[in-house]
Structure 1
Amino acid sequence: MMLLTSGTRGDVEPFAALARYATARGHEVRLGVPERTGADLSGLDTVRLGVDFHRLLRTDGLSPRTAVRHYRAEVRPGMRRMFSAAVRETLAFGPDLVLHHPLILTAPAVADALGVPRVLTEFVPVATPSRFFSAPGGPTVSADLGRFNRATYAVPRSAARLFRADVERACAQLPGGRAPAPRSASRATLIGASPHLLPRPADWPAAVHLTGAWHEPPQDPPPDPVLDGFLRGGPYLVATFGSMAAGDATGRGRAVVESARAHGLRALLLTGWGGLALPEDCRGDDVLAVPAAPLAAVLRAAAVAVHHGGAGTVHTVARAGVPSVVVPFLADQPFWARQLHRLGIAPAPVPYRRLTAGTLVPALGEALARGERAAAVGRAVRQEQGLRTALDVLTGL
């Protein structure tokens, strides 16, 4: 089977987990991924799709004119390379099934050209409409529009039309020099999310499978004396904003450290791709800033997590049984922030432009009070078998 994914680390790691799980069970799997994923791809048969989403997502502070320039210089060429590589690599592999991320817009055409089934994969349901909530990542993500909710899913679908010419150009590699006439929708849709965080809407078709999250079994990281010593030093919070580098990273670091101290907590800052920075005057024995660390491992004894609300981070924190303060930036993050608040394992989200000690101190207090509820949700999420469920669907097609 050919697995094709797009996006940043949160989109790549679940595909890598499924590829590793399926390979271990005798399936021949090739995984197509973007550049600079940050994910562990060791032992996997991988090919690169020629696009760096960290470059594509660097749009904060751009004026309308420079945003257009960024689209022309970075976004459009990057997506064009990805579409073309997806076709080229899938044809070269010749799979019996194509499993793909929604942004791989050439996957339907190449699967049809090969005469094999394709399966759409979503980690947040942007392509599977429901009347129960508006499209995650759309302009109305924080609104419940009732009977108009389903109409909001036209927004992400219409975005694909921006790249129609690029898709057609990539499909020139197919037999006959163009995409075949569309046959049908995907054979199935796999939603790699926890039903305990996203209860299944009653109006999803039977071909949509809410599998549970896809993740590797937790493993102990290599010994790190500095990190290990910090984790054993008393109650702490974990703060991470993944690849979200928009805005004032130093100001966010200050807000996190001051708020942690206000609650008698130490602060572990995972600075990542530039989303957090530790001010010099906030340094101390109660603060540790590192570029990265295995999130599941550092959450085991954490009191609370402050994060951006990406799907992968949301599930890792929830699985650990740790309450959250969600600071959403873009895309599906406000959707997950709202879900965690509804479930009672996070306070109302704090928009990243409003993140200060004044907003974070009370949010942390509310999150800490939800520890028992978060622990109960964590126990339920840890019982899920998302990879097994997903592979069972795929092998049953």
Structure 2
Amino acid sequence: MRVLLVAYGSRGDIEPMLGLAGQLRESGAEVRMCAPPDFAGLVEAAGVALTPIGRPVREMVKGAVTGTAPRPPEGLAERAAAVTATTYEAVTAAAAAGCDAVVATGLFPAAAGARSVAEKLGVPYVFVAYFPSYLPSPHHPPSALPGWPFPPEVSDNQALWDLDAGNQNVLFGTGLNAHRATVGLPPVDDFRDYVLTGRPWLAADPALGPWQEHPGLDVVQTGAWFRPGGLPLPAGLEAFLDAGPPPVYVGFGSMPVRDPQDVARAAVGAVRAQGRRVLLSGGWAELALTDDQDDCFRVGEADHHALFPRVAAVVHHGGAGTTATAARAGTPQVVIPQMADQPYWAGRVAALGIGAAHDGPEPTLASLSAALGTALDPRTRARAKTVAGLVHTDGAAVAARLLLDTV
């Protein structure tokens, strides 16, 4: 069996797919991935062949977070149509060697292009979300599309989702149908329903991100998809960890921040104020050490599954994968959400009592010190250890079996 995985987004979209890829390969399936070229090294290091989709996304993400990217001449609808067409081309090329199923995640216009290829080939297609609020439900509101705010007088969740469906048809459906006409496919009436299907998958842990059932959507919650962990940590990092008590990890993964220097200063100062050492991850935020004191260490790539059980707390942006990995390790968290699903995970961390949700994307010494005070409280650590025992570790295996059964 040959499976094509499509993930257009940040590293948080790619990593879980590699967890699924590993389980599929163990079952004897051949796997290829379509993803942005930013992650070629990551995908190929996992032994998965990559067909890149379009241009790197790093600058696009940076512009969305910091507001520093130049305004493109085309609007959102035109950019979405280009993503749909580019993804269609990449997935078609990747499927040339054979394809029995397509699994897609990330931006909806890219997933729409992927489903069009699956439709053209006559093979099963699955859309996967990594957090519940990405899927329509009367139990939570949708996120407004850029430049398309919802009317302030509308507060009913179902009414907001209805508005969202109409907005997506205007912004994304028109471009999708124009492209489908060029490849001999009929028009789509409801863009969002076409992307999601009536039975999307939810790759989130039930204890961390539970799905509330309702008649409108048949969601299959598999549990979070983890890549196999246990890779050796860099020698310098091992030496730092061994040289003193557990440090506080601070990192934002493939998420830029508005002012890296201010964030680094606030983080280092707040951690030191708690009497802790600092482990700073550079990442796309480009965080750097603020001085040469030996209580701080800057790390590049490191296996979070191996690292997080050895730190006192994890300060991060609130990506689905980082949140789940820290929760699985039983390590308290401080979530400083920047965009997308991150406010959702910040709220869940606070609600579960396994850490603190920072108010807003720009920490100060005072605000981060207060959040760390909550996270480093012994009661928070005890609660984090309890919740860790509830986190499922077999989500990718469950999804692989479902896909094999489907095909």
TM-score (norm 2): 0.85
Residue identity in the other structure for 2:71: A
Maintained 8 Å contact 1:252/1:277 = no
Alpha-carbon distance change, 155 to 166 in structure 1, aligned in 2, over 3 angstroms: same
Matches within 5 A, 1:317-356: 317-353=326-362, 355-356=363-364
Maintained 8 Å contact 2:131/2:204 = yes
Residue identity in the other structure for 2:357: A
The superposition leaves residues 96-124 of structure 1 with CA deviations (integer Å, 9 ceiling, x where unpaired) of: 22211144211222222222221111112
Residue identity in the other structure for 2:136: P
In the alignment, which residue of structure 2 is the partner of 1:304?
A: 313
1:85 corresponds to which of 69, 86, 89: 89
Matches within 5 A, 1:114-133: 114-133=121-140
The Cα shift of 1:170 comes to 4.5
Q: Could you say what secondary structure the match of 1:325 adopts? A: strand
Maintained 8 Å contact 2:128/2:200 = yes
Matches within 5 A, 1:1-397: 1-37=3-39, 39-42=42-45, 43-59=47-63, 60-62=65-67, 66-69=70-73, 75=79, 79-80=83-84, 82-89=86-93, 91-101=95-105, 102=108, 103-135=110-142, 148-154=156-162, 157=165, 158-159=167-168, 161-164=170-173, 166-168=175-177, 170-171=179-180, 174=183, 177-179=184-186, 186=197, 188-203=199-214, 207-221=218-232, 224-232=234-242, 233-279=244-290, 282-353=291-362, 355-369=363-377, 370-381=380-391, 383-397=392-406
Alpha-carbon distance change, 277 to 110 in structure 1, aligned in 2, over 3 angstroms: same
* Residue correspondences, number: 386
The Cα shift of 1:260 comes to 0.9
Maintained 8 Å contact 2:154/2:160 = no
The whole-number CA distance in structure 1 between the counterparts of 2:56 and 2:20 is 22
The whole-number CA distance in structure 2 between the counterparts of 1:180 and 1:196 is 39
Single out whichever of 239-248 and 93-102 deviates more from structure 2: 93-102
The Cα shift of 1:78 comes to 6.1
TM-score (norm 1): 0.87
The superposition leaves residues 289-315 of structure 1 with CA deviations (integer Å, 9 ceiling, x where unpaired) of: 123322222212111111000111111
Q: Could you say what secondary structure the match of 2:389 adopts? A: helix
The whole-number CA distance in structure 1 between the counterparts of 2:402 and 2:320 is 22
Maintained 8 Å contact 1:190/1:210 = yes
Maintained 8 Å contact 1:51/1:78 = no
The whole-number CA distance in structure 2 between the counterparts of 1:98 and 1:391 is 12
The whole-number CA distance in structure 1 between the counterparts of 2:251 and 2:274 is 18
The superposition leaves residues 255-311 of structure 1 with CA deviations (integer Å, 9 ceiling, x where unpaired) of: 1111111111100000101342322xx331100012332222221211111100011
The whole-number CA distance in structure 2 between the counterparts of 1:20 and 1:187 is 27
Maintained 8 Å contact 1:124/1:332 = yes
Alpha-carbon distance change, 329 to 160 in structure 1, aligned in 2, over 3 angstroms: farther
The Cα shift of 1:161 comes to 4.0
Alpha-carbon distance change, 52 to 126 in structure 1, aligned in 2, over 3 angstroms: farther
The Cα shift of 1:211 comes to 0.8
Maintained 8 Å contact 1:113/1:180 = no
What runs of 5+ residues in structure 1 fail to find an aligned partner?
A: none
Maintained 8 Å contact 2:278/2:297 = yes
Which of structure 1's runs of 4+ aligned residues deviate more than 6 A?
137-141, 180-184
Residue identity in the other structure for 2:226: H
Q: Could you say what secondary structure the match of 2:112 adopts? A: coil
Q: Could you say what secondary structure the match of 2:8 adopts? A: coil
Maintained 8 Å contact 1:86/1:104 = no
The Cα shift of 1:166 comes to 4.3
* RMSD after superposition: 3.1
Q: Could you say what secondary structure the match of 1:347 adopts? A: strand
The superposition leaves residues 330-386 of structure 1 with CA deviations (integer Å, 9 ceiling, x where unpaired) of: 111111111111111122323122x111111111011112111111111221x4310
The whole-number CA distance in structure 1 between the counterparts of 2:264 and 2:328 is 25
The Cα shift of 1:56 comes to 1.6
